[in-house]
Amino acid sequence: MTEKVLMKGNEALAEAALRAGCRHFFGYPITPQTEVAAYMAKRMPKISGTYLQAESEIAAINMVLGASAAGVRAMTSSSSPGISLKSEGLSYLAGCDLPAVVVNIQRGGPGLGGIRPSQSDYFQATRSGGHGDFHLIVLAPDTVQEMFDLTIEAFELADQYRMTAMILGDGMLGQVMEPVDISREGTVSTVAKQWALTGTKGTRKKNIINSLYLNEEELEMLNFKRFEKYAEVEKIARTEEYFIDDADVIVVAYGICARIAKNAIDEARKKGIKAGLIRPVTLWPFPKLQLKAAAAKAKAFIVVEMSMGQMIEDVELSIRCSRPVDLCNRTGGMVPTPDEVLAAIEKAARAERS
């Protein structure tokens, strides 16, 4: 058995990036993700990597674009307001079909907001995060172990689909320290990046990476093609399921809220209420089929999230509004308690009986 070590979520995530072969990190400090940059600053020089604190978030994401165009694994991380600044770069990365990993350790918003944990960037992350028709792959860890595992996976998915993969965490996941097994090495991309700008050395036709297409027919065709790829990516949608086989009330929650919900579900089960949890691990693609299948048996849904209600729309769409969906939420940096979730479960169970 490999020995587990204690790490903060942010540190485990940074270590995972290194194990995935990422040697180019461009960042700009912001609470509560600063440990990612600090870890990279400490480690990168020792492994001949590049750690660069850019002059701004916008510069950092464009450095990622440049590094990615050159064919290397590159990453940036930030927290909510910083991600808004990066949205132009996210759109350009998509327009250029470049792989990248971007981390958002969310904090309360809007505006400069606060520094406490939040999930209110769900719309921004899952709809695209920038202008134009595009998607990010969005992965939502709920433990420090998953901060590690999903980060390695993010690099693999990004290379495989030539997309940006985002790790959507929150301040609490970034700061919490838990045992983590970091023995797993990432698979350094075996996909030959024949599109990369590595220099022709006079031996091949030159590669061009570009997002400007003034011919509208060509641009439409590119968007069609990109969405054919997205249809393929939809197949990676996945969930963790907890006591859903006989559940009357299903809680849907991701990230830290899923863990809070588990405590509430355990209590509800002790009281004889058949409650269960579906935790989307991928937020885009959203696990629509899993939700739809659950709606065939469950009588009511509750979405627990740290926002004014964003993921709830995807849940309602997935189940075609065929069951009542309640919202149990806190926002602005506040975190729901297991008791609040339990009260919501009890309310839904009562309503379903009457």
Helix (H) or strand (E) holding 285: none
**Binding residues with another protein: total (CB under 8 A):** 24
Cα angle for residues 35, 105, 9 (degrees, 5° grid): 50
What residues numbered 315-354 form the site for another protein, per CB under 8 A?
335, 337-339
Query: Which residues ranging from 224 to 243 are in contact with another protein (CB under 8 A)?
Result: none
**Contact set for another protein, span 183-202 (CB under 8 A):** none
- Per DSSP, the three-state class of 24 is strand
Locate the DSSP E strands across 99-162.
100-106, 137-139
- Residue of 119, 100, 133, 110 whose CA lies nearest to 22: 100
Q: Report if residue 266 touches another protein, rule: CB under 8 A.
A: yes
Tell me the pairing of strands 239-242 and 275-280: antiparallel
Report the distance separating Cα 227 and Cα 134, nearest Å.
Answer: 8
Candidate residues 259, 269, 299, 347; the one interacting with another protein per rule CB under 8 A: 259
Q: Which is nearer to another protein, 226 or 330 (CB)?
A: 330
How far apart are the C-alpha atoms of 192 and 209, rounded to whole Å? Answer: 16
Does 267 help bind another protein (rule: CB under 8 A)? yes
**Binding to another protein by residue 116, rule CB under 8 A?**
yes
- Smallest distance, another protein to C-beta of residue 139, A: 20
- Figure out which of the listed residues 38, 58, 177, 196 binds another protein, where binding follows CB under 8 A: 177
Q: In sequence order, what are the beta bridge partners of 304? A: 328
Its sign, for the CA torsion 292, 294, 297, 303, is negative
Three-state secondary structure of 200-227: CCCCCCCCCCCCCCCCHHHHHHHHHHHH
Q: Which is nearer to another protein, 132 or 332 (CB)?
A: 332
Residue 177 CB, nearest distance to another protein (Å)?
4
Which member of 18, 25, 32, 304 binds another protein (CB under 8 A)?
32
- Binding of another protein at residue 171 (CB under 8 A)? yes
- Among 250, 260, 304, 311, which residue sits at the site for another protein (rule: CB under 8 A)? 260
- Shortest distance in whole angstroms from residue 248 CB to another protein: 21
* Beta partners for residue 179, in sequence order: 6
Please identify, using beta-carbon distances, which residue of 115 and 196 lies nearer to another protein: 115
Nearer to another protein, 256 or 298 (CB): 256
Phi-psi region of 320 (alpha: psi -120 to 50; beta: other; left: phi over 0): left
Answer yes or no whether residue 4 interacts with another protein by CB under 8 A: yes
According to CB under 8 A, which one of 73, 226, 262, 274 is a site residue for another protein? Answer: 262
Q: Which residue ranges make up the site for another protein (CB under 8 A)?
A: 4, 6, 31-32, 115-116, 171-172, 175-179, 256, 259-260, 262-263, 266-267, 335, 337-339
